[in-house]
Amino acid sequence: MVNFVCLLIISLILFFFGTWLLPITDPTESVYALTAKEMLLAGDWLSPRIYGNFWFDKPIMFYWELLIAYKFFGVNEFASRLFPTIFATFGIFLTYFFGAKLYDKKIGFAAAVMLATSLEYWYLAHAVITDMTLLVMFSITLMSFYLGYRAGNEKFYLIAFAASGVAVLTKGPIGFFLPGLIILIFLAWQGDLYRLKKLFRLKNLLLFAVIVSLWYLPMTFIHGADFLENFLGVHNFLRATVSEYPKTNVWYYYLLISAIGFFPWTVPLIFFAVKNFRRLPKFDVPEKFLIVWTLTVIIFFQLCATKYVTYTLPAMVPAMIFFARFFVSRWKIFIGTAAATLIIFPSGTFLAALPLAEDNSARREAEIILPLLDEKTCVVSHAKEYSGSLVFYAGTKIYRLETKENFEKIHPQKMTWTSKNVMPFMTFDELPADKKILAVVSTAYEKSFLDNASGKWELVGEVERGALESLVEKIFYGRERQQIKSKIYLRREN
């Protein structure tokens, strides 16, 4: 009971505290939040949509979570971050439970605390993205399989298939394929592949199919080839084979991410790994399962072309359980590190996370343009990336303003990453001459805007960078560039 209370307090301090202050950020959070907002306004809880278009980037589960939160608490930051914090809390309790089942309650508690107080987990517990939901369903799938395997109880396999079905509703086919690959490799290491016959019973597969068909079947009937091409083609096949961000497609990417994401536990964990490397032939069954789970997730995503910081989150649960045993005989180090983190991370919410979130959100820009909007106002945005958060907070249609040359490069084309550019476009020569126009312009693109936009423009507002980003800009670029993030221009009706 004491352990449960401690974990609940830790989750309240680390995950829930201050979530209502953090603005919706670009580029990822705003896509999820805006999609759910448009679904709510349309009264459609089935087909994701954004900028007035159907949108097949991710399955429905996380959107349902956002819709429920928006329905009860309104469309705001607290509601947007509610379910990620809930699932993050659930994740640490799952880790405690499974660690206790594999070893004992002390190891389970240590693993749960280590997970909660690691940098990547703390960050993603606040993020408006699918990954915390996936982590929980992914973990339930593999934990249920292992408990059923160890006890010889096939009822656990039903739970595993049900959780895998929800994982597929959360992230796509990877929610079934990757846990299945982990189980296959583990059983092969055990020399126990015949167990697959018991795992893949007809009733288990039917339960999985029923859960998955709740969304995939009606989406296929309603949207047909568009859904299959965009969801399976672009957002699954293309993501695995063609890097969306080529600079991150390097062999050491997840080694670096793991080192940063496990902070502050990285140094002792590396020490433990090096010290126990020679024990590889002596691993017992639970250790084998944890190792296969951890390494398969990391290696699989390392082999994929597109790499994101969040992809290997499911590997943190088994890794923390595996390494928690290191601290059982070093309890003072464990308590000291965890206590320091419980002070540093909540402070970081206000000192680092909040200003950085503000600099990656257009909430302040929206506050400037909202009083200037009327039914006849045309709003455009000219920047390197289109800001979904500006649309989320402004609640109006905003055109992505581009030159003709750049529009040709980035307008949506099938089976390429440009197919994600479903926002409304406008080129400079299409700017209406007889309308009031508000332009939100990144300072990096101000010259491009003034050179290409015809008419007389009045500067009506500026948004300054926060302290942290200002410091970086000051060091590398000088005072003028570090002060202003974006400018708002107004052209009145002719």
Write the pLDDT tens digit of every residue in 309-360. Answer: 888 999 999 999 999 988 888 888 889 999 999 999 998 888 888 899 999 9
Does 476 score more than 50 pLDDT? no
Together in a domain, 314 and 370: no
Together in a domain, 386 and 319: no
Confidence of residue 245 (pLDDT cuts 50, 70, 90): low
From 302, 325, 357, the end of a domain falls on: 357
Give 10-64 pLDDT, tens digit per residue. 999 999 988 999 999 999 999 999 999 999 999 999 999 999 999 888 999 999 9
- Which position has the token pair 């464990």? 334
Together in a domain, 268 and 194: yes
The per-residue pLDDT for 55 is 87
- Which position has the token pair 């693993």? 111
Together in a domain, 442 and 319: no
Both structure tokens of 256:
């670096």
Together in a domain, 258 and 346: yes
Sign of CA dihedral 9, 72, 365, 405: positive
What does the angle CA 18 – CA 136 – CA 147 come to, to the nearest 5 degrees?
145
The per-residue pLDDT for 308 is 80
Together in a domain, 8 and 24: yes
The per-residue pLDDT for 259 is 85
How many Cβ atoms from other residues are within 10 Å of residue 369's Cβ?
23
From 340, 357, 374, the end of a domain falls on: 357
**CA distance from start to end of the chain:** 71
| CB contact at 8 A, 34 and 388 | yes
Phi, psi of 191 (to 5 degrees): 70, 35
Give the residue among 92, 73, 83, 72 at the shortest CA–CA distance from 32. Answer: 83
Expressed as residue numbers, the domain containing 384 is: 362-491
Together in a domain, 350 and 400: no
Write the secondary structure of the chain as one string of H (helix), E (strand) and C (coil).
CHHHHHHHHHHHHHHHCCHHHCCCCCCHHHHHHHHHHHHHHHCCCCCCEECCEECCCCCCHHHHHHHHHHHHHCCCHHHHHHHHHHHHHHHHHHHHHHHHHHCCHHHHHHHHHHHHCCHHHHHHCCCCCCHHHHHHHHHHHHHHHHHHHHHCCCHHHHHHHHHHHHHHHHHCCHHHHHHHHHHHHHHHHHCCHHHHHHHCCHHHHHHHHHHHHHHHHHHHHHHHHHHHHHHHHHHHHHHHHCCCCHHHCCCCHHHHHHHHHCCCCHHHHHHHHHHCHHHHHHCCHHHHHHHHHHHHHHHHHHHCCCCCCCCCHHHHHHHHHHHHHHHHCCHHHHHHHHHHHHHHHHHHHHHHHHHHHHHCCCHHHHHHHHHHCCCCCEEEEECCCCCHHHHHHHCCCEEEEECHHHHHHHCCCCCCHHHHCCCCEEEHHHCCCCCCEEEEEEHHHHHHHHHHCCCCCEEEEEEECCHHHHHHHHHHHCHHHHHEEEEEEEECCC
Together in a domain, 116 and 246: yes
| CB contact at 8 A, 127 and 77 | no
- Which position has the token pair 């659930």? 90
CA distance 440 to 460: 10
Sign of CA dihedral 363, 365, 367, 373: negative
Together in a domain, 368 and 252: no
Give the count of domains, the chain.
2
Give 197-216 pLDDT, tens digit per residue. 999 999 999 999 999 999 99
The per-residue pLDDT for 479 is 44
Give the residue among 173, 311, 309 at the shortest CA–CA distance from 237. Answer: 173
Give the residue among 6, 17, 60 at the shortest CA–CA distance from 338. Answer: 6
Both structure tokens of 111:
């693993």
Together in a domain, 303 and 372: no
Least confident of 218-232, 421-435, 447-461: 218-232
From 357, 379, 411, the end of a domain falls on: 357
| CB contact at 8 A, 111 and 325 | no
The per-residue pLDDT for 275 is 67
- Contacts of residue 292, defined as CB under 8 A and 6 or more positions apart, other chains included, come to 182, 185, 186, 189
Together in a domain, 338 and 461: no
Together in a domain, 333 and 450: no
CA 418 to centroid of chain Cα atoms: 20
* Percent above pLDDT 90 for the chain: 68
| CB contact at 8 A, 115 and 95 | yes
Does 477 score more than 50 pLDDT? no
